Amino acid sequence: MRLFGFVASLGLLVKSVTAIDLVLEDEASVKSAASTIAFGLASLYTGNNTGDTPGNLPDPYFWWEAGAMFGTLIDYWALTGDDSYNAITSQGITHQGTENGDFMPRNQTRTLGNDDQGFWGMAVMSAAENNFPNPPPDQPQWLALAQSLFNQWASRWDEENCGGGLRWQIFQFNNGFNYKNSISNGCFFNVAARLARYTGNETYAMWANKIYTWQETVGLITEDHAVRDGVHVNLADHTCESTDPNQWSYNAGIFLHGAAVMYNATNASSIWRTRVDGLLASATATFFNESILFEQLCEPSGFCNNDQRSFKGYLTRWLAGTTQMAPHTFDIIHPLLLADAAAAAKACVGSPPAPAFKGHAGTACGFRWTTGGFDGSTGAGEQMNALSAVMYTLVDRVAAPVTADTGGTSKGNPMAQAHEEVGEKPITLGDRVAAGFLTTAIAMGLVAGCAFVII
């Protein structure tokens, strides 16, 4: 028995070191590696268990990250042809899109931000662009879901403060209502650009221009094409102040990809070419070290939070999408995708004790790609990042995203709206506490107290 145990553990050890064999540019090898990592990702999902809610990832993942996961799984299917996860993807998106087709599920209104909706919006855009199987006709369709979000965002555009822009949060009672950030405006921009290309409707292109210009005017996209995080609204004079200059990889990626889509939709206009090339140069200079992508703000210190640990995967997604829309970028981006795939696969040799990961033993992906091994950090972000790194090396082997004129079958509804803008649900004290409103209440109490003393 002892000997058996020894041999068995030795076997495991050997297996875990060679768990993911990846031969770059070998389609079968890439697909096999991607399938192993995708299985590990899907093993974290519980939304199709009896009694669980379709479309949600379990704690500690927020709602938006599930939308990001389904977007990743749609691209996984488009790149590899493996439809293993199409059923959970359709079910999850349709459930969270709600019967109103507006991605405003009441269960989420306590914390619903424009960017949270955005990751679902980009997932349904990918579904439309790749002819992901359409939902039954009595349910909201991929394109119409994206158009509903576009219309919601356009109606929330706030000219009164900082001359435009979307706020981070949708509801006034949420912390972050007075913050206008690049990711919320980036989601709006990215979806508007893709709707412009997909439908040919000029209104979407006009909005994409307007959003990009606002980002520049307010300093969130700098002259050297760095994308900064956000600006705070000054409630006294309606200007914007105290810019958060931090650069996150997903902010760079979301604008880069949207700009590439506009470049394509405008048949290579020089203004969009300048933006694409500038954003790409800035992103590669900021987020790559010796061709390996890293989340420069928090990865070296090891303090990336759960959300931030998924950002690298989105930059990877948007770099790959950029090569499709602006083919001249391929020679710059493709070598980076290859280097990252090799590095990420080496990080997928973990055997975490955590119960959530039910993928194949020895294939859990770590967060850092710079160490040549597994760094002990696991989760949906780490799995999505590595899956993206591996599978997007196939991007030049699949058809480019379609449009309504080139075979797209998803049915749209340009008039799709939100069913309820401010939520019919009365806001309870519990909601306010959950939303962080309490801190505001305390701050206001302090102000009131001071006023009393002065009087």
Ligand X SMILES: *[C@@H]1O[C@H](CO)[C@@H](O)[C@H](O)[C@H]1NC(C)=O
Residues near ligand X, by CB under 6 A: 42, 48-49, 53, 84-85, 87-88, 95-96, 98, 105, 107, 151, 201, 203, 264, 267-268, 289-290, 300, 324-327, 400, 414
Q: Between 399 and 450, whose beta carbon lies closer to ligand X?
A: 399
Ranked by CB distance to ligand X, the top (closest) residue is 400
Alpha-carbon Rg for the chain, nearest whole angstrom, is 22
Tokens for 194? 């893709």
Q: Between 30 and 73, whose beta carbon lies closer to ligand X?
A: 73
Q: Between 246 and 440, whose beta carbon lies closer to ligand X?
A: 246
Q: Which residue stretches of 295-358 are H helix?
A: 311-325, 330-346
Residues 6+ apart with CB under 8 A from 183: 115, 118, 168, 229, 248, 250, 251, 254
Q: What angle do CA 345, 257, 379 make, to 5 degrees?
A: 35
Q: Between 221 and 325, whose beta carbon lies closer to ligand X?
A: 325
For the CB of residue 420, give the shortest distance to ligand X in the complex, in Å: 13
Q: What is the DSSP letter of 221?
A: B
- Residue 40 CB-half CA count within 13 A: 31
Task: Give, rounded to a whole angstrom, the gap between the first and last alpha carbons of the chain.
Answer: 83
For the CB of residue 451, give the shortest distance to ligand X in the complex, in Å: 42
Q: Between 105 and 230, whose beta carbon lies closer to ligand X?
A: 105
For the CB of residue 265, give the shortest distance to ligand X in the complex, in Å: 8
For the CB of residue 238, give the shortest distance to ligand X in the complex, in Å: 27
Residues 6+ apart with CB under 8 A from 437: 173, 174, 175, 431
Q: Between 84 and 243, whose beta carbon lies closer to ligand X?
A: 84
Cβ–Cβ under 8 Å, residues 336 and 289:
no
- Give the Cα separation of 351 and 311 in Å (integer): 23
For the CB of residue 290, give the shortest distance to ligand X in the complex, in Å: 6
Q: Between 162 and 256, whose beta carbon lies closer to ligand X?
A: 256
- Give the Cα separation of 194 and 180 in Å (integer): 22
- Give the Cα separation of 158 and 155 in Å (integer): 8
For the CB of residue 19, give the shortest distance to ligand X in the complex, in Å: 20
For the CB of residue 49, give the shortest distance to ligand X in the complex, in Å: 5
For the CB of residue 382, give the shortest distance to ligand X in the complex, in Å: 19
Q: Between 47 and 219, whose beta carbon lies closer to ligand X?
A: 47
Q: Bridge partners of 269?
A: none
Amino acid type, 341: A
Amino acid type, 436: G
Q: Between 201 and 284, whose beta carbon lies closer to ligand X?
A: 201
For the CB of residue 444, give the shortest distance to ligand X in the complex, in Å: 31
- Give the Cα separation of 242 and 290 in Å (integer): 33
**DSSP per-residue codes, 70-88:** HHHHHHHHHHH---TTHHH
Q: Between 76 and 85, whose beta carbon lies closer to ligand X?
A: 85
Q: Between 9 and 289, whose beta carbon lies closer to ligand X?
A: 289
For the CB of residue 211, give the shortest distance to ligand X in the complex, in Å: 14
- Give the Cα separation of 287 and 279 in Å (integer): 12
For the CB of residue 244, give the shortest distance to ligand X in the complex, in Å: 21
Q: Between 106 and 238, whose beta carbon lies closer to ligand X?
A: 106
For the CB of residue 100, give the shortest distance to ligand X in the complex, in Å: 10
**Residue entry with tokens 């900021």:** 286
Q: Which residue stretches of 347-414 are H helix?
A: 380-391
Helix, coil or strand: residue 240: strand
Helix (H), strand (E) at residue 184: helix 182-199
Cβ–Cβ under 8 Å, residues 390 and 345:
yes
- Helices 63-80 and 86-97 pack at an angle, to 10 degrees, of 140
Cβ–Cβ under 8 Å, residues 385 and 364:
no
Residue of 177, 111, 160 lying closest to 440 (CA atoms):
177
